Structure 1
Amino acid sequence: MKTLKTMLFAASIFVTAAAIAQNKPVNPADFHGATADKKSYKVVYQLNSDDEKVIKATMKNIMNALDDPRLKGKLEVELVAHGGGVTVFRKDQPYETQLKVLQERGVILAECENTMRERKISKEELFDFISYVPSGNGEIIIRQQQGWAIVHP
């Protein structure tokens, strides 16, 4: 029995070494990123911070994805704000123009109603062009199970 185990162990090492030996390093000049070979892609960007840098970075990340030539015409995007992220949708904040640009490009803008209740925020305090979901976390869970990628900048 010990001999059989030793032989199997030795064989596994040989197979592993052979596989490693066949891996050739990728020449950086030959690599151009992943190929977008699917018909469509779906992504949720989660925003739960009121930090101006995080908000701006999140919107910039969304624009970068929308502008990626591999994803042109194939990308569905949703921005889900909850917790501190509600700041991005407040009328007293400077994000209206950027949000409208995103929305014009097809981005779904969704605010968590739980956050609004917990923070006593009314819909009148938020931009009138956004949508609402019962729970930001619930939205993310459902979308992920539907196959959407989740990005949390």
Structure 2
Amino acid sequence: MYRVIVQVKDLDKAPQSIKSVINLYNDLKDVQIEVVFHQSAIRSLVKDSPLENSIMDLINKGIVVVGCMNSINSLNIDSNSLISGIKIVQSGVGEVVRKQSEGWIYLSL
């Protein structure tokens, strides 16, 4: 089984990043994927964002979607406004480093 940690940090690139994650999921089949959103991309995880349906599609496929609390705080986002099912970590970059230390394959999209 593949284990892949994906870092998404740029809101403008988030739609294509999500498509790439779906392509990865469809291609590999036997894969565990975690997608970490931080910096401006954290705005993708807010309810009623243009990407809400795409984020829900990731979650419904069993892909773990993670939001960075540091980014949430720095952009003054109310954590209660996030899409249901999102995992929150204190630091998105810290989560990426932890997963890499556990042998996860790293992708930056």
TM-score (norm 2): 0.93
User: Shift in Å at residue 92 of structure 1?
Assistant: 3.7
In 2, Cα distance between the equivalents of 1:59 and 1:118? 23
User: Shift in Å at residue 98 of structure 1?
Assistant: 1.2
Is the strand fraction higher in 1 or 2?
2
Q: Determine which structure has greater relative contact order: mean sequence separation of CA pairs < 8 Å that are 6+ residues apart, divided by chain length.
A: 2
Instruction: Tell me which residue corresponds to 2:96.
Output: 140
Instruction: Tell me which residue corresponds to 2:8.
Output: 47
Count of matched residue positions in the alignment of Structure 1 and Structure 2: 109
In 1, Cα distance between the equivalents of 2:102 and 2:44? 26
User: Shift in Å at residue 103 of structure 1?
Assistant: 1.0
In 1, Cα distance between the equivalents of 2:73 and 2:43? 14
Letter in 2 for 1:130: I
User: Shift in Å at residue 129 of structure 1?
Assistant: 2.1
Write out the 4+ residue segments of structure 1 that deviate beyond 6 Å after TM superposition.
none
Which of the residues 18, 33, 39 maps onto 1:59? 18
User: Shift in Å at residue 124 of structure 1?
Assistant: 2.0
User: Shift in Å at residue 137 of structure 1?
Assistant: 0.5
How much identity, in percent, do the aligned residues show? 28
Structure 2's unaligned 5+ residue stretches are none
Q: What is the RMSD of the two structures over their aligned residues, measured on CA atoms?
A: 1.1
